[in-house]
Each structure stands twice: as C-alpha cells, then as structure tokens.
Amino acid sequence: MDFHPPFAGNHPISPASTEHPTISEVALVKWFHLFSRSFVSLAYPAILVGSLLTTLASAAGPFQVTPAEVSLQGNFARTQLLVSQPGKDGSVGSRSADLTHQAKYISSDTKVVTVVAGGRLLATGNGKATIAVTIGKTTQQVPVLVEGIEAEPNVEFAGSITPVLNKLGCNMGACHASQYGKGGFKLSVFGFEPAKDRIAIVRERQQRRVNLLDPEKSLILRKATMRIPHGGGKRVSVGSADYQLLVSWLKAGAPAPQKDPLTVERIEVFPKQRISQVDAKQQLRVDAYYSDGSVRDVTAWSKFDSVDDSVVNVSADGVVSTIGRGQGPAMVRFEGQAVIAIFVVPYADKVKMTDWQNNNFVDELAAAKFNELGITPSALCDDSAFLRRAYLDATGTLPPLEETRAFLASKDSRKREHLIDRLLGLTGDPKLDIHNDAYAAFWTLKWSDLIRNQSNKVGEQGMWSLHNWIRESFRVNKNFDKFVSELVTAQGSIYKNGPANYFRINANSNDLAESTAQLFLGARLQCAKCHHHPFEKYSQADYYGFAAFFSRVGSKTSQEFGLFGREQVVMVKATGEVRHPKTRKNMPPTALDGTEMDHPLDRRIALASWLTSKDNTSFARSVANRYTSYLLGRGLVDPVDDMRATNPPTNPELLDALAKKFTDSGFDIKQLMRTIMVSRLYQLDSQPTESNLADERFYSHFKVKRLSAEALLDAVDSVTGVQTKFKSLPLGTRAIELPDAEYPNYFLTTFAKPRRASVCECERTPDESLAQALHTLNGDILALKIANAKGRLAGLQTAKKSHDEIVDEIFLVALARYPSAGEKTAAKKFLSESPSPKECYEDLLWALMNSKQFLFVR
C-alpha cells in the first residue's frame, strides 16, 4: 500500500487538549463506577476501555502523557510522547515542567511497537500494545493501535524519501543542493523538485548510485552510513527506521513520485510556549496537516533550530535546552512549512511595578510582558527629554526656543498629550496645528527612501511629481490604505501622476512583486524566486502568482512635453502573463494567502483591494510594526520588513492590538503614532536600570536612536542659526525637505543619507562611524556655522545678553533643557579662563553639539 499519513480521525486526542484542566480525581472515580459496567456490557473494544483507564490515571496521577492513546498507520509510522508535570490546578499549561526524558518507557509487545528513551514510538507490526510510562513509583499505560503494516510497503518518494533527505541534510545548500552539488551528485534545494531528485539518485551516472537487486549495497546507502568514505560524514545508521525506509523504497524498484502527491498545508508544534528556568529541557512534538485532511506526527523528520542561541539550544531530535534568560524562539521546519515555539526564561521572580500607570492598551500589554519576563521598567523621562524626543520623532525638527520655555514651565498634567496632538495636527485648532508642513516633509523623506524615488530612475520631473504626491498625501493625512491603493494601481503620465513613477522605479513584474510585498506586507519574497523560501511558507508558485498581478502593466513614450521631454505613460495592456520558470505554466494572479483573484479592467485593482483589506491582517501588522520601530527604536518584529512565522514578534499581543487599532481607525497613520506616543512605554527614560540593563528587545527603557543625516543637519542649522544652501534649491529649504536621493553635501554623505537603491530599511545605516565623529569634532561645517557672524551666538552677543542668558539659550536650543547648577558653575569658570567671551560660547556650543544628548534621540 502507499505510505500515506494517517487520517485525522486516527488521532483520538489532540495535543492541544492537554491545555484543558483535567477533571478532579474524585469526580472521575465516581463517574467510572457508574458507567464502567455499561461499557463492558456493551462489549466496547478493549482499546476504548484501556483509553478510559489511561485517561483516569493521567488525570489523577502526578504526570500527564500526550497523546493519551496512539494510533499508528503504516510502515515506519512514528510518534513522540510528551510527559508533563501538571500545575497546581491539575492542568498542563505554559508553566508546566517537561518530564519526557526523565520517564522510563516499556513496550508490552515490541513486535507491534517499539519505544526508545525519550518517548519516541515506532510501528513494527499490526496489532495492539501498550506503552508503560514510569516516573518514580508511578506508571501510566498508553494504549497503541498499529494498522496498515505490510511486508513489502510501497514507499512514496515525495511523502517519505524527501523528508528523510531533508532530515539527513543531503539537500541543504552546503551539501548536494549547492550550486554544482557534491561529487557530481546534485539535489534540489530542500527537495522541492522530487522528480529531478529521484532521477539524480536512480538514473544518473549509469545508475551507479543504486542497486535494485541488493538495495543495501547501493552506493547512496553505503556512503550515508560511512561504510565507504563520504565527505559529508555519517548521516544515517544501519538498521535505523530511516535506513529501513530507504531500503524499502529501493526494494520496491525506487518508484517515481506520484503525479499529485499529498502536500503539507501546515504544521503545529507542541508545546507552543513554555515559561521556564535556566537549564531546563523540553521535548517538542510536531504534527503535519496534509491536503487530504490527514495528520501525521513528523517529529522524527522535522528540522529544529534556535532563533536565539543566547536563550535556547535545540537538538536535532527537538529537545530544547534553556541556557540563558530572556525570550527565545525555537524554529521547526518540515516540507516547506515553518513554525516556532517560544521559550521564556524570566530575569527575576518578582517585578517592581509600583509606579507604573497604564495610559492605554500599549502599557497594559507591555506591563504583562514585563511581569512575564521579570523585567522592571525604567522610570519616566523628564520633560526636556520628552519634548525633544517627541519633536524629532514626529517632525524631524528641534523644538523652537519659546516652545521649550513654555513647555518646561507648564504645570498642566496633560501637557505631554497636548504636545503630541499639536505635533500631529490633531487638535482641530488651526492656531495650534502648525507643524503639519514639518510632519509631511519628514515622513515624505522616510517613504521616498523606501519607495526609492530618485531622478536617476525617473528623471527630474518624474522625481518631483512623485515627491509632491507623497508630501501632499502626508500633509492631508490621507488614509494609508488609500495611499497604497493609489500607488499600486497608478497609471498615466509619470510627470502628471506621481505614483505612476512606482512602475518606472520597478521595471518588471518581479521587481514590483518583491517591492510591494516587502514594503506593505513585510514579506521578503526574493528567495522564493528561485526556490521555496527556507524559513517561510512561500514557494515559487506563490512568488510568480503574486507577480502575475503586474504582468499587464506596460509603458509607452509620449511627446506631450516635447520630442525630447522623455515622458513615459504607464498603461494597462490587454494581455500579458507570468510563466512559472520550471513548470512553464501561466500563473493566475494569486494573493499571498493563496486566493486567486482577477479584475476585468486591471488585475492590480484586485490586488489593491486584497492588500489593503481589513481582513488582511498582514498589511496592518506590517505598518504597525514599522511605526513601532520608528518611534520606539526597534520593531516588535526585527528586521521590520522580514515578518514571517519564524521571526516572531517579541510581544505578539501588542502587535496584534496595534494592528487592530490601526485598522479600526481607517488606517490613519497619525492615530497610530498618537497611540504609541501617549503610552507610558514611549515616555520611559532612556537610562537603563540594573534590572533591565540586558534588555534590548522589550522596551523596558527607551532605546536611544541616532538622528538621521537630514534631521541632524537641520538641527545643526537650527542651533547655530545658519541655514545650509542646497544645489538647485532656494535658501531656506531644510534637509528633511530634499526630494532627491543624492545631493553634493559632504555632511549628508558622511552621516549616511541613503542612495535609495533598496526597499530595505537597512539602507539607512543607524551605526556610528569614525568619519562621523571626526566630522563633528574637527570638521569645517560645524565650526564655521558656530562662528558665523550672522549666526545665533553672534546675535546673542550683539544683543548684549548676559552670560547666564546666553548659557541658558545655548542649552535650551541644543538640548531642550536648562543647564544644571554644576554646568552653570563650569560655564562661568570656562568664561574666566577663555581668551574672550566669543571663544567661550563657541567652545561651549561646540561641546554640546558633540555630546550624545545632541546627536541622539534619547
């Protein structure tokens, strides 16, 4: 018979059921006495009675076994038992201890099922048996039913041989799936082309790799077992289940894959989460759900990896060891599917949250995570730090001098909230909503970087057209779903319709698919262009199906702006398809959730409708994650544009809540920003405490961020009172208003203004460099602006301000705070020691502008 996974009905108890509280021992005993005679008199099969007894023992005993009964279907079927210590309430939850590797296991009939240390079962013959699970003086019986064992099984290549090759590592990039293979033997990456892999094994090199008459003498087995030298070392042991499976396949004539083999639609790992201690262990169990509705325990064939080696290690058999404190995911992969299990090792048993007050749901969910991790957050930042932080984060500018004085003097208990509303233009009062131009300029700069608007790609007119459209969208606070829809469905002149330039920047359907997915879904599809994504569910079919939405986008030249105007018109063609490079089949336009969709006028309309739908949580989660990163210094998922199952958020509940808030607001970016900025979490001090010093991911203290190149240059101009003149732009244009990618400005180049070559956030490098330090310390730009005869310092001295007034203003404009008593004393001493007051104030301002308090958002 074909070697298929067992049907879902063969799993009488789901692993998820272990999360439910068990019935009390007394109630179970009473129930059993009332009904046991009925079960026996009705001649129920012995396995059901055994199952009942096992359930009773499991509920009443000191440990719980999952699954409580086992059904194994077919040759080589395996399953992994999990043994857990219930909590005080009798249930098995996230804080339960794993006893799987402490228990002893004995099979009542090894001709039916065998069991090895660690609780892994293997079907060996048809029939019934029990597995005795013993810890100390307590034993529980797990009934096992084995069916479908045949003397000469017909092993299916894609369903059984490919998983074995995956587990053994044969088709990894470092082995036979490398570009040219190894030793002349080449397999497909991760086994995604089983038909070709079977030919490589059975047909190539005059069939030298297999011996169908005496399978155990096959070269492929002799090398894998190291009976003859093998560069990859020993991969499998003689007599093991995987070895016997390979032998059975060869004995059957090494059959080719079925034309329509079963596919794995999803996998689940158990437990999904554990809260534990250092040096604890947890055995994982993996179930695969197939396209025919069947379920199979695939723990033995799954690949296990640690996503954070500082917290957890994972063995090849799926045993997780906690080695450090924090939150660490364990990644599980099987047949193109990937999931994670989260392990939390608290930093402390108790958390001091006495001063914590929730401003909104952001704080509630953050506090829950702090309690779970045992992290005590820092206190609130002072008013000056908040004022400067809010201005730079919302508008990319420093607070004006008078605004700083007024804010620091205000006794209003809600002044921070009111400031946020003014910065975001949400007061409804035109006299207060005066920051909209700076807000629009700053966020236009950010999204122009990501969309890659530059004159080298679309010309000066096209660049200005797209820039103006983006800026106007942010100026009027266009809902973000509409912004994205207009961008991905744009057509017409690239000079008249700004978003049409998106289709000049991305020249073909592949580029458009990759950019759109990464920008607005946080999905990196590049790997799936050539093979199945190694850490994600996306296949080549997903890639080219998504690219098909853009297959009918074309362009033509126009002479409306003159023969040499170089105007391009983006249009929708009547025909055009994307073809799968391997199957050579035309791909129907398909969303990344697998839904095929089209539109009679323009396929992109269907895409935009799905992409920005309230039901498409990936869109809202992606945007919410980006803005969390912009405001809190790190995304809940990091990198922000690599959102996948195997790169989980540090606080999933918070990301979901922010995404819901964003969706419910009608995709209003300002409301999303306000939600984050009014939270206590955003207003925490950047100074870590002894308790949270090691935390870099959970926002227990504000993450210090370096000012971007443009914002920093504008800050220098604002503090010194000397404006930078940019080529071809009028004096007074701020750096955050620059429309193009590159300007001949040494300061911007040194501080890593991106060239807009990639949609990745990583292009704007946040790291400091020696060149930057030397530039602010010794560079001419800063020194000349400070000493400029028309600058701020010269004006203060001309106005005959007192020493204290000058020092106060220097501190207020640079750091948004008054000098401390010690700083005032030092300034007076510095004045007395300086050759002149002019040099004193210039050196003082230079020192402040080279301080971390000026160069960073803190």
Q: Which runs of consecutive H residues, i.e. helices, occur in 178-335?
A: 194-202, 204-207, 219-224, 241-251
**Could you tell me the pLDDT band of residue 40, with boundaries at 50, 70 and 90?**
very low
Q: Which amino acid is at 154?
A: N
Decide if 854 contacts 715 (C-beta within 8 A). Answer: yes
How high is the pLDDT of residue 172? 80
How high is the pLDDT of residue 27? 37
**Could you tell me the pLDDT band of residue 412, with boundaries at 50, 70 and 90?**
very high
Q: Of the ranges 186-195, 327-336, 632-641, 742-751, which one carries the lowest mean pLDDT score? A: 186-195
Which stretch, 228-242, 255-269, 758-772, 808-822, has highest mean pLDDT?
Answer: 808-822
Of 419, 398, 402, nearest to 848 by C-alpha is: 398
In a 3-state reduction of DSSP, which class is residue 569?
A: strand
Structure tokens, 498: 């700004």
In a 3-state reduction of DSSP, which class is residue 786?
A: helix
* Fold type of domain 8-147: Immunoglobulin-like (2.60.40)
Contacts 24+ apart (CB under 8 A), 18-23: 18/64, 18/66, 18/82, 18/84, 18/92, 18/270, 19/91, 19/92, 19/93, 20/91, 21/89, 21/90, 21/91, 22/58, 22/59, 22/64, 22/86, 22/90, 22/91, 23/59
Query: Does position 19 have pLDDT exceeding 70, yes or no?
Result: no
Fold matches, 8-147 and 264-345: yes
Lookup result for tokens 């608007």: 453
The neighbouring-strand residues paired with 122 are 78, 114
**Could you tell me the pLDDT band of residue 5, with boundaries at 50, 70 and 90?**
very low
Strand locations in 323-403 (E): 326-334, 337-345
pLDDT in tens, 826-846: 999 999 999 999 999 999 999
Average pLDDT over residues 466-483: 98
The proportion of the chain whose per-residue pLDDT surpasses 90, expressed as a percent, equals: 77
Strand 97-98, strand 82-85: pairing: antiparallel
Decide if 277 contacts 347 (C-beta within 8 A). Answer: no
Map out the domains of the chain as residue ranges.
8-147, 157-251, 264-345, 438-611, 617-663, 709-750+768-858
Interatomic CA distance for residues 657 and 671, integer angstroms: 13
Of 490, 491, 516, 390, nearest to 442 by C-alpha is: 390
Lookup result for tokens 């306000």: 674
Q: What is the pTM of this model?
A: 0.86
Average pLDDT over residues 716-737: 96
How high is the pLDDT of residue 561? 57
How high is the pLDDT of residue 565? 61
Query: Does position 779 have pLDDT exceeding 90, yes or no?
Result: no
Interatomic CA distance for residues 340 and 544, integer angstroms: 27
Of 642, 443, 423, 675, nearest to 536 by C-alpha is: 642
Interatomic CA distance for residues 123 and 115, integer angstroms: 9
Query: Does position 60 have pLDDT exceeding 70, yes or no?
Result: no
Residue 194's alpha-carbon distances to 4, 171, 221, 376, in angstroms, are 16, 11, 18, 52
Structure tokens, 606: 């269907």
Interatomic CA distance for residues 106 and 94, integer angstroms: 28
Q: Of the ranges 190-199, 246-255, 305-314, 333-342, which one carries the lowest mean pLDDT score? A: 190-199
Query: Does position 788 have pLDDT exceeding 70, yes or no?
Result: yes
Lookup result for tokens 């262009």: 529
Interatomic CA distance for residues 141 and 131, integer angstroms: 6
Of 486, 607, 617, 481, nearest to 547 by C-alpha is: 607
Lookup result for tokens 């272990």: 18
Query: Does position 238 have pLDDT exceeding 70, yes or no?
Result: yes
Average pLDDT over residues 776-784: 87
pLDDT in tens, 523-566: 999 888 887 666 777 888 999 999 999 999 999 987 765 544 67
CATH number assigned to the domain covering 264-345: 2.60.40.1080
Residues whose CB is less than 8 angstroms from the CB of residue 487 and which lie 6 or more positions away in sequence, other chains included: 451, 499, 502
How high is the pLDDT of residue 602? 96
Structure tokens, 670: 């300002």
Q: Of the ranges 42-46, 184-188, 590-594, which one carries the lowest mean pLDDT score? A: 42-46
Query: Does position 15 have pLDDT exceeding 60, yes or no?
Result: no
How high is the pLDDT of residue 10? 36
Decide if 192 contacts 539 (C-beta within 8 A). Answer: yes
The residue count for the chain: 858
**Could you tell me the pLDDT band of residue 112, with boundaries at 50, 70 and 90?**
very high
Interatomic CA distance for residues 717 and 734, integer angstroms: 9
How high is the pLDDT of residue 534? 67
Interatomic CA distance for residues 589 and 781, integer angstroms: 53
Query: Does position 514 have pLDDT exceeding 80, yes or no?
Result: yes
Interatomic CA distance for residues 654 and 627, integer angstroms: 13
Query: Does position 335 have pLDDT exceeding 80, yes or no?
Result: yes
The proportion of the chain whose per-residue pLDDT surpasses 70, expressed as a percent, equals: 91
How high is the pLDDT of residue 17? 36
How high is the pLDDT of residue 134? 96
Decide if 152 contacts 252 (C-beta within 8 A). Answer: yes
Structure tokens, 209: 């790799």
DSSP state for residue 157 in the 8-state scheme:
I
Q: Which amino acid is at 829?
A: K
**Could you tell me the pLDDT band of residue 373, with boundaries at 50, 70 and 90?**
very high
Q: Of the ranges 368-372, 381-385, 775-779, which one carries the lowest mean pLDDT score? A: 775-779
Q: Which runs of consecutive H residues, i.e. helices, occur in 428-523?
A: 436-451, 455-475, 480-488, 502-505, 509-520
Average pLDDT, the chain: 89
Query: Does position 256 have pLDDT exceeding 70, yes or no?
Result: yes
How high is the pLDDT of residue 791? 96
